[in-house]
Chains A and B, each alone.
Chain A
Amino acid sequence: MSSCLVPRSTRILLMLILALVGSSLTSNLAAETRQSLVTADATVAASERQAVMGISRLGLEANRFTFPVFYTPHEGPTIPVGNWSVRISQEYADAILADNLSFIIPARYDRLVFENSQARFETATQVFSGLDVRQVIPELSQATRSYAEYREYLLDHLNHHIAPSMEEILGAAAEARYQEMNARERGTFITERARQTGMPAEVLEALISSSYAFGFYLPELRGRINIRQIERKRFDGSTYYVYQTTLAAPLKTRMLVYAFDGEQFTTQIELDAVPDGFFEGLSQQMSASASITTAWLPRERHAQQIFDDVFELSFKDSTIALSTRLKENRAFAVATPVIDATPEEIGLKVGNQEDIRVDQPFTFNRTIDGKETTIGWGRVRLAGNTCLILPEEERIASRAQLISGQVDEFDLAVEHPWTGVYGRTAFTQSMTELEIDGQATGAGNASFIELGFISNLGFLLNNRSFSEIWTNLDLGLGLLSNGEGNFDNLDGKGAIRVRFGAEKRFHMGYGLYASAGADLGYEQHNYAKPGGPSGLKDDFKVQTANLIPRAEIGYYINPNLKIYGGAAYNLPFYTDYEWDNGDSMTEDLSMMGGLSVQAGIAFHLGFAGPFASMMARPSTECEVLRDARLEAQAAEQAE
């Protein structure tokens, strides 16, 4: 087995330090230690690095999954056609886990890796390798288990094989970790005059008695396979059929957080990547779906290829979701006091070392009458370079913009758990109009209910150039107005609209923003009018491709919820139309451009869903820099 532990000063450590420091100053300070007197209390204390071990084996409930298969022939009803099975090998599952582990265990943590009879401890500035654990750590079993069995099995493994050597291993790195702590002693005799680190024993004891192990488990997958027969036309007008096979099987990965208290591990947190609500479900479905199109009717063996695609992306989405949920626990969220409260340039001493991305929201908290209260929030515009391997004077703090509320120097900025993705629903009234032979018909005004997703590209790509550029994907279902005057026998029916675009937002304070952007949209309008192929009133459809420049004003109620309204102009640049039976129409139809107005509400989603594939990996800049410096130091010493 190889398991990797990634440390960062632990929750217990944080709690200890906060407890030591937390009490107010009064004349009765006998219980306070010197360490507690020179370190910050919970109201302004920056979070500390924690020690975490990521167990690199993905527990499996089953290694063979069976999905029902449904077949939908062209213009025919969907029918069940049996079950297909796919397999997952432990090696493949572990490889996918290892590939995505950095989303959950980025450089903000110190890492411990156990291999055979040795351990390696990586802090932000040091790597301690070849630490003897005095026993060969047995490999974790590949047997499939229920969740409860796996949780106990892992706990037992940790307590029997890892816990006995933890104290010593944590002790070996304690000095290095102390030097990376925010709460280290400064300005005192020991640090200034004696020029010693002088790690207090109470901090050492906390460091060696606190760390975490992260385990992952994949419950049995549930999903379905749909095979759809699709008719296509060749250039000569002849038709042929292709088969689109789609597998939708969202991974509801579970995460176990075991806490080490100095003696043993206990299960502390259990998380799962189960969607909360319709939009999250829809979002997760989108990352958990893959399809292939074949010219032949697929067989069971083709399902494996689709499954592998689904598994990779859906697992990534589930790790993003788990990482976000983990940050809801304060012990795993980054916190730092505000060092500069200029609303457009709020200074925060966190950055790439803590995996802070562009546009990451932070809430600004203040302890008011004994209770921590959020008084404002903002988004990071410049993710700082805070690699601890750099000398303090070379580090660059992050800069954030106040979005809503207020902020003052030394308010506590707390990382807000965020995926950068919102679901949204809106009502849109589009004032487009259908023209027939150059005459306005009065039909074509569409009233849409839209469902969509919108994501922050700056955050997803972790790229400053894309800060506050949002990309959206919306689906609208609507009703059309009827014809008027000479066209009063023209009936407007349903409409469908899909649009994809981007916008740039400009925040104006008080939670308000304005945005400008454009979409590319596809709309299909269905109408009925006399003179059709049947000689009676027949249905026909008008399909248009539109360029939709738009502007929007929105208001954030909180970082997770906003309302917005806007106006857009539909500019059709391609129109196609035909009777529903496929016959061409003799008239000349076109859609006129028109204004549309929209009002909606958007809410944060815990899954990146359709945008999961775009999510850039956490920065490894600090680790690369650390390794390069350590190598250079080793080379210097060798000389």
Chain B
Amino acid sequence: MNLTIAIEREKQKMNTKFLAILFLAALLSACASTPESTTRPSDPPLSRQATLVESYSANEVMIRAVGLGNSMAEARDDARKAAIWFALMGGTNSLLTNAEQREAFRDHEAEFWANAMRYISHEGDLLSRRQEAGQDRIERAFRVNIANLKADLAARNIISDSRELAEAIANPVISVIARNPEGNDRHAASVFSEYLQDRGFEVVVLDATQRVDEIVQQAAALEGNIDPMYMLALQTGSDIYISIDSEVAERRVAGNRVAQSTVNATAYYTATGSQLGASSGYSAERAIAGGAALTGEAANDAADKVLGQLTRSWQREVQRGKAFKVVVNASPEIGDISRNLHQLFNDVCNRVRRNAAGSTSFDYTLNCDGPRDAMDLLILLEDNYIGPGQVFRVLDSGAFLIIRIGDSDTDSIIIE
């Protein structure tokens, strides 16, 4: 009986050992056959290799990105994250432009990586596939939806919403001015307009042939800037203006017309006339009929670059206060008011620059925190002016104000 029990126990032990070995073997086999997953969906990308292919539209950019992983699935996910990483931090027009934003992003990044697909609007075919040191490495082109990314970043207060920015310093108006409305410039200007509107700016599309008011010409001339586009921008009251010109170069190759478009864009502060960004966009050289599509391609390229510069400058602008160009005409009979004016501007604005001045004409650039537009500024000036005569409005337009100081209101002014 004891012997039987002992045998039974031995059998049980054997069975247990057998099962344990079987389980171990199965485990080892599973480990051997399944690539070890080292990343979680919420982890940041292993790869930081990506490049901008093109700006596809105002809201989307195409990015070619490298993905790394222990399997193709991991590498594919990693490539998506790398594309998003590039949009956020990698390129010259990255969404996170400073250390503060990046620091803020760190608190939320897991959410962004885990929801990478939310920001991918299109995945292209695989463009490369390698194995390096046992790791899968792929390359793929993605269309990343920048608008979605921005909205989510803004919702988490990582970046400021462009609309909020606009509200903070009055709604900025940007003039997009086509140098040659007969050519492809107008088409390029439309592309810029689309970009600007999608990014929350108020846009006016003009062409350089529009008539400029004489008084504006006089005011502009005071500073010595007689660029018709500058004057147009002043007249329109835009805070910023972008001048656009484009060119389509073509040649024939084996009976086929090939053409390449170049779009040049320069952005200026209207108030100061100073340049805040400039770039050229190029299309690929293509065998194609017409030039509109190529100009569109080049304009996309230029717009993305310039708007990146513009956005960064605009953010700096918030810190300084809104810029105004103020031209003052003083009646000769009230004497020299240059000191009074200077004091006035220093009292109501936090940054004052005198551009040009004669005995009765003065050209100033002011950065002021309070006023949202030239009318607000006018009221401030009227309220705070101490000196001979009174402040009279001649013209106010966005960031451009012309006033006259004298004893009586009159429409005519003479700018020296």
The minimal Cβ–Cβ distance linking A510 to chain B, given in whole angstroms, is: 14
Known A187-B124, A198-B293; 12 more pairs at CB < 8 Å: A24-B139, A186-B125, A190-B297, A198-B286, A198-B287, A198-B288, A201-B284, A337-B129, A367-B129, A369-B133, A408-B72, A409-B72
Which chain B residues border A197 with CB–CB below 8 Å?
288
Which listed residue (B72, B126, B127, B284) contacts A34, Cβ 8 A? B284
Which chain B residues border A41 with CB–CB below 8 Å?
127-128, 139
Q: Given A34-B284, A193-B296, A201-B253, A25 and B50 touching (CB < 8 A)?
A: yes
Which listed residue (A44, A189, A411) contacts B57, Cβ 8 A? A189
The minimal Cβ–Cβ distance linking A43 to chain B, given in whole angstroms, is: 5
Which chain B residues border A167 with CB–CB below 8 Å?
254
The answer to whether B379 has its CB under 8 Å from any CB of chain A is: no
14 A-B pairs whose Cβ atoms sit less than 8 Å apart in the complex: A24-B49, A37-B64, A38-B53, A188-B54, A189-B54, A189-B297, A190-B288, A190-B293, A196-B288, A196-B293, A198-B286, A202-B285, A368-B130, A368-B132
Interface residues of B in 83-128 (CB under 8 A from A): 122, 124-128
Q: Given A41-B127, A410-B129, A201 and B258 touching (CB < 8 A)?
A: yes
Q: Are B297 and A38 in contact (CB under 8 A)?
A: no
For A204, the closest partner residue in chain B by CB is B287
Which chain B residues border A199 with CB–CB below 8 Å?
286-288
The answer to whether B131 has its CB under 8 Å from any CB of chain A is: yes
Which chain A residues border B311 with CB–CB below 8 Å?
none
The answer to whether B141 has its CB under 8 Å from any CB of chain A is: yes
Q: Are A24 and B56 in contact (CB under 8 A)?
A: no
The answer to whether A428 has its CB under 8 Å from any CB of chain B is: no
Q: Are B132 and A369 in contact (CB under 8 A)?
A: yes
Q: Are A39 and B127 in contact (CB under 8 A)?
A: yes
Interface residues of B in 23-61 (CB under 8 A from A): 49-51, 53-57
The minimal Cβ–Cβ distance linking A171 to chain B, given in whole angstroms, is: 3
Q: Given A189-B56, A200-B284, A205 and B253 touching (CB < 8 A)?
A: yes
The answer to whether A174 has its CB under 8 Å from any CB of chain B is: yes
For A372, the closest partner residue in chain B by CB is B130
Residues on A lying within 8 angstroms of B by beta carbon are 21, 24-27, 29, 32-35, 37-41, 43-44, 167-168, 170-172, 174-175, 178, 186-190, 192-194, 196-202, 204-205, 208, 337, 366-370, 408-412
Which listed residue (B286, B293, B296) contacts A200, Cβ 8 A? B286
Residue of A32, A33, A37 contacting most chain B CB atoms (<10 Å): A37
**Whole-angstrom CA separation of A408 from B126 in the bound complex:** 13
**Whole-angstrom CA separation of A175 from B294 in the bound complex:** 17
Which chain A residues border B57 with CB–CB below 8 Å?
189, 193
Q: Given A37-B141, A366-B129, A368-B131, A204 and B297 touching (CB < 8 A)?
A: no
For B53, the closest partner residue in chain A by CB is A37
Which listed residue (B49, B72, B143, B285) contacts A201, Cβ 8 A? B285
User: What number of residue pairs across chains A and B have CB atoms under 8 A from each other?
Assistant: 153
Q: Are A34 and B130 in contact (CB under 8 A)?
A: no
* Interface size classification for chain B: 35 or more
The answer to whether B144 has its CB under 8 Å from any CB of chain A is: no
Q: Are A43 and B284 in contact (CB under 8 A)?
A: no
**Whole-angstrom CA separation of A44 from B66 in the bound complex:** 14
**Whole-angstrom CA separation of A208 from B258 in the bound complex:** 13
Interface residues of B in 147-177 (CB under 8 A from A): none
Which chain A residues border B138 with CB–CB below 8 Å?
410
**Whole-angstrom CA separation of A368 from B143 in the bound complex:** 28
Q: Are B66 and A174 in contact (CB under 8 A)?
A: no
The answer to whether B300 has its CB under 8 Å from any CB of chain A is: yes
Nearest 7 pairs of A and B residues by beta carbon: A171-B254, A194-B293, A201-B285, A208-B254, A201-B258, A368-B131, A199-B287
Q: Are B127 and A21 in contact (CB under 8 A)?
A: yes
Which chain A residues border B127 with CB–CB below 8 Å?
21, 38-41, 44
Which chain A residues border B133 with CB–CB below 8 Å?
369
For A26, the closest partner residue in chain B by CB is B49
Q: Are B64 and A170 in contact (CB under 8 A)?
A: no
For B50, the closest partner residue in chain A by CB is A25
Q: Are B132 and A40 in contact (CB under 8 A)?
A: no
**Whole-angstrom CA separation of A39 from B141 in the bound complex:** 9
**Whole-angstrom CA separation of A199 from B55 in the bound complex:** 19
For B252, the closest partner residue in chain A by CB is A171
**Whole-angstrom CA separation of A58 from B50 in the bound complex:** 53
Which chain B residues border A408 with CB–CB below 8 Å?
72
Which chain B residues border A25 with CB–CB below 8 Å?
49-51, 64-66, 139
Which listed residue (A38, A194, A196, A367) contacts B141, Cβ 8 A? A38
Which chain A residues border B232 with CB–CB below 8 Å?
none
**Whole-angstrom CA separation of A39 from B64 in the bound complex:** 10
The answer to whether B255 has its CB under 8 Å from any CB of chain A is: yes
The minimal Cβ–Cβ distance linking B187 to chain A, given in whole angstroms, is: 11
**Whole-angstrom CA separation of A410 from B128 in the bound complex:** 9
**Whole-angstrom CA separation of A27 from B51 in the bound complex:** 7
Q: Are A190 and B131 in contact (CB under 8 A)?
A: no
Which chain A residues border B255 with CB–CB below 8 Å?
168, 171-172
The answer to whether B256 has its CB under 8 Å from any CB of chain A is: yes
Which chain A residues border B132 with CB–CB below 8 Å?
368-370
The minimal Cβ–Cβ distance linking A126 to chain B, given in whole angstroms, is: 15
Which chain B residues border A172 with CB–CB below 8 Å?
254-255
**Whole-angstrom CA separation of A190 from B56 in the bound complex:** 9
The answer to whether B216 has its CB under 8 Å from any CB of chain A is: no
The answer to whether B62 has its CB under 8 Å from any CB of chain A is: yes
For A200, the closest partner residue in chain B by CB is B284
Which chain A residues border B258 with CB–CB below 8 Å?
201, 204
Which chain B residues border A37 with CB–CB below 8 Å?
51, 53, 64, 141
Q: Are A201 and B286 in contact (CB under 8 A)?
A: yes
The minimal Cβ–Cβ distance linking A143 to chain B, given in whole angstroms, is: 34
Which chain B residues border A200 with CB–CB below 8 Å?
284-287
For A32, the closest partner residue in chain B by CB is B51
For A185, the closest partner residue in chain B by CB is B284
Q: Are A187 and B122 in contact (CB under 8 A)?
A: yes
Which chain A residues border B143 with CB–CB below 8 Å?
187
Q: Are A193 and B56 in contact (CB under 8 A)?
A: yes
The minimal Cβ–Cβ distance linking A175 to chain B, given in whole angstroms, is: 7
**Whole-angstrom CA separation of A201 from B285 in the bound complex:** 5
Residue of A21, A27, A43 contacting most chain B CB atoms (<10 Å): A43
Q: Are A337 and B126 in contact (CB under 8 A)?
A: yes
Q: Are B62 and A187 in contact (CB under 8 A)?
A: yes
Q: Are A187 and B141 in contact (CB under 8 A)?
A: yes
**Whole-angstrom CA separation of A174 from B254 in the bound complex:** 9
Which chain A residues border B72 with CB–CB below 8 Å?
408-410
Which listed residue (A39, A186, A204) contacts B254, Cβ 8 A? A204
Q: Are B296 and A189 in contact (CB under 8 A)?
A: yes
Which chain B residues border A29 with CB–CB below 8 Å?
51
The minimal Cβ–Cβ distance linking A234 to chain B, given in whole angstroms, is: 73
**Whole-angstrom CA separation of A192 from B256 in the bound complex:** 22
For B141, the closest partner residue in chain A by CB is A38
The minimal Cβ–Cβ distance linking A188 to chain B, given in whole angstroms, is: 6
Q: Are B284 and A366 in contact (CB under 8 A)?
A: no
Which chain B residues border A412 with CB–CB below 8 Å?
129
**Whole-angstrom CA separation of A29 from B138 in the bound complex:** 17
Q: Are B141 and A44 in contact (CB under 8 A)?
A: no
For B82, the closest partner residue in chain A by CB is A25
Q: Given A38-B124, A189-B56, A369 and B131 touching (CB < 8 A)?
A: yes
**Whole-angstrom CA separation of A601 from B258 in the bound complex:** 58
Which listed residue (A34, A40, A194) contacts B53, Cβ 8 A? A34
Q: Are B53 and A188 in contact (CB under 8 A)?
A: yes
Which listed residue (B53, B253, B296) contacts A171, Cβ 8 A? B253
